[in-house]
Amino acid sequence: MTDTYDLIIIGTGPAGMTAGIYAARSKLKTLVIGGVLGGTANSISYLENWPGFRGKGVDLMKRFYEQLNLYDIEVVLGEVQNVEKKGKGFSVKTLDKEFESKAVILATGIKRENLKIPGEEKFVGKGISYCATCDGFFYKDRGVAFVAREDCNPEEILALAKITRKVYVITTGKRMKCENEIKKFPEKGKIEIIPNSVVEEILGKEKVEGIKVKTGKGTKELIVDGIFVGMGSLAFTKFAKSLKLKLDKENNIIVDEQMKSSVPGVFAAGDVTNSKVRQVLTASSQGAVAAKSVNDWLKE
């Protein structure tokens, strides 16, 4: 027999767990399914922009989960294989089970592109970051590298240039598409663009101490304390096609202020949406709004 719920939340990051707390407080029969508790928030080396908390992202996510467990709510750790419309509700399938619900919140987050070089995982939180606006502050007056493709985000480079002593921008392309914008920065003298280059090796024992870069002119070592990976990210919209959801040009789920998607009964929250701000705080806020909207929608 298939288990049936008022709401199934897919994702166990800040948005998903917050949505679960709010749904439980609204007395909705709720199931939360996710692969990793905390999601990409676990990789934040030090969080300073969550009011009342300073510390590792993984430690904050543990607190989220502890609070979620205070309520009568079911949490299943596993990968969702498919989500589709079924009758008046929805079918959610994992590898070994099928669940049904009246509404769904997609809080599946994003999949970040990494450097794909040995030692990268070892240095996450010890010099490697995937968010310049989140972690740039910790490298004040120090040298850092920003690794990106031709399609760069000038705002991230500017954020680093304002804080750090030196920013090496390493790109595989012949030139950065945002290079003209970079030249307009007051801090442009602190930025050095190294084109046609790839990072071959991360140097250091306990933390990042430098990188080895292969350029068109040979290989050289750069002394840096931090590496910011700006290779881009994709919203994890695996289920968009089966649900026939509308996406924006960057493959994010389009939602309104109530976190409603283009399909009635399907809501989304966090980094998977077309939100312009991607922070733990905003993801959590969207999770709360989505759960409140589901509760209101079920009463209609």
Residues 93 and 171 grouped into a single domain: no
Residues 101 and 143 grouped into a single domain: no
Residues 287 and 244 grouped into a single domain: yes
pLDDT tens across 213-252, in order? 999 889 999 999 999 988 766 667 788 889 999 999 888 9
The string over 106-118, giving b where at least 16 C-beta atoms fall within 10 Å of a residue's C-beta and e elsewhere, is bbbbbebbebeee
Res. 14: pLDDT tops 90: yes
9-13, 147-151, 241-245: lowest mean pLDDT where? 147-151
Instruction: Give the pair of three-digit tokens for residue 268.
Output: 């989304």
Q: What percent of the chain has pLDDT over 90?
A: 59
Residues 239 and 102 grouped into a single domain: yes
Residues 201 and 56 grouped into a single domain: no
* Residue that wins the pLDDT comparison between 215 and 269: 269
Residues 103 and 160 grouped into a single domain: no
**CATH of residue 186:** 3.50.50.60
CA distance readout (Å), 267 to 78, 121, 140, 295: 20, 33, 39, 11
- Domain final residue pick, 230, 245, 270: 230
Q: How many residues does the chain have?
A: 300
Inter-residue contact 229 to 147 (CB < 8 Å): yes
pLDDT tens across 36-95, in order? 888 888 878 778 889 999 998 889 999 999 999 999 999 998 889 999 999 999 999 998
Residues 70 and 106 grouped into a single domain: yes
- Domain final residue pick, 196, 230, 264: 230
pLDDT tens across 165-207, in order? 999 999 888 877 778 888 888 888 999 999 889 999 999 989 9
- Domain final residue pick, 230, 265, 288: 230
Strand pairing category for 74-77 and 80-86: unpaired
Residues 35 and 94 grouped into a single domain: yes
Residues 119 and 222 grouped into a single domain: yes
The per-residue pLDDT of the chain, averaged, comes to 90
Say what the pLDDT of residue 11 is.
95
Q: Which domain holds residue 105?
A: 3-111+233-299
Residues 237 and 226 grouped into a single domain: no
Q: What percent of the chain has pLDDT over 70?
A: 98
Residues 128 and 107 grouped into a single domain: no
Say what the pLDDT of residue 285 is.
98
Q: Quickly list H helices, the chain.
A: 14-25, 57-68, 132-135, 154-163, 179-182, 240-243, 280-299
**Residue holding tokens 């990072």?**
199
DSSP letter at 138 equals G
Say what the pLDDT of residue 159 is.
86
Residues 106 and 238 grouped into a single domain: yes
SS3 content of the chain, % helix, strand, coil (to 5): 30, 35, 40
Res. 1: pLDDT tops 70: no
Q: What total number of domains does the chain contain?
A: 2
